Amino acid sequence: MGSVRNCIVLSVVLALATSALAAERITVAAAADLNYAMPELASRFEAATGTKVVASIGSSGNLFAQIQNGAPFDLFFSADEEYPKKLAAAGKLDGGSIRTYAIGHLVLWVPNSVGLDPATLKMDTLKQATITKIAIANPEHAPYGRAAMAALEYFGMKDAVAGKLVFGENVSQAAQFAQSGNAQAGLIPLSLAKSTAMTAAGKFWELPTSAYPELRQAAGVVSASEHKKAAQALLEFVLSPEGEAILRKFGLTPAAKP
């Protein structure tokens, strides 16, 4: 009887431990260019580990400020590797956990309703009379917004289109402006342009990488996290071959291994 009772107790303990692991939940602050990639990454990770991932999507700068002010995130995926470095210097992010996970790419996206082909016209698309509003993310806190402004300057168009620019709070909102017709063009991440919704609604042209500073995207574990192991496990999954395949699917180039 004693051995049977011990087996029952052990089974209950194991069941409780498994349940606790499966019930673990991490909260991720993710740059808006991951709006479509992160749900797929999170779903695959949850299926493999049982750990629930809740993502808060926003501009890297705004998420940086939230973490700086003590927001209860476990992991930060930034579209600019400088934000994680600054947080680590301030003791808000575990410096040893920071990894560059992807290189982002900028595109010029135009809705089908405008009737222009950016692959043919390229940046001259923005000179057309039918383009009265150009959506970009706010460059004050969005890395892709800064990249968009750099590209406009590179092509000598910054002053010419200044009056046409409309700013989204992040790249997802900028893409929505263009997709909805509130803007007739958008300078947005390739990772959003390659989504099913955006490819159905419009066309894009990928800008040459020489036109803007390299978009090196980095992630790190928040120092105050109570789920550091699970957060680190998600980061390692994103860096794994399976995670990299998902990043490539959405036009993000996995970073070279150190």
How large a percentage of the chain has pLDDT more than 70?
A: 90
pLDDT score at 23:
63
pLDDT score at 18:
43
Q: What are the backbone dihedrals phi and psi of residue 28, each rounded to the nearest 5 degrees, phi first? A: -115, 130
- Residues 6 or more apart whose Cβ sits within 8 Å of residue 175: 109, 135, 168, 186, 188, 192, 193, 198
Q: How far is residue 59 from each of residues 66, 91, 218, 219, 241, measured CA to CA in Å?
A: 11, 21, 14, 14, 26
Regions of the chain with pLDDT less than 50: 3-21
106-206 CATH fold? D-Maltodextrin-Binding Protein; domain 2 (3.40.190)
Q: Do domains 2-103+216-254 and 106-206 have the same CATH topology?
A: yes
Nearest Cα residue to 75 out of 99, 108, 103, 59: 99
Q: Enumerate the β-bridge partners of residue 135.
A: 166, 186
Tens of pLDDT, residues 183-198? 999 999 999 999 999 9
Measured over the CA atoms of residue 104, residue 110, residue 111 and residue 112, the dihedral's sign is negative
Nearest Cα residue to 146 out of 154, 159, 137: 137
Q: What are the backbone dihedrals phi and psi of residue 67, each rounded to the nearest 5 degrees, phi first? A: -65, -40
Q: Enumerate the β-bridge partners of residue 78.
A: 218
Domain boundaries, the chain: 2-103+216-254, 106-206
Write down the CATH superfamily of domain 2-103+216-254: Periplasmic binding protein-like II (3.40.190.10)
Other CB atoms within a 10 A radius of the CB of residue 199 amount to 12
According to DSSP, residue 157 is labeled -
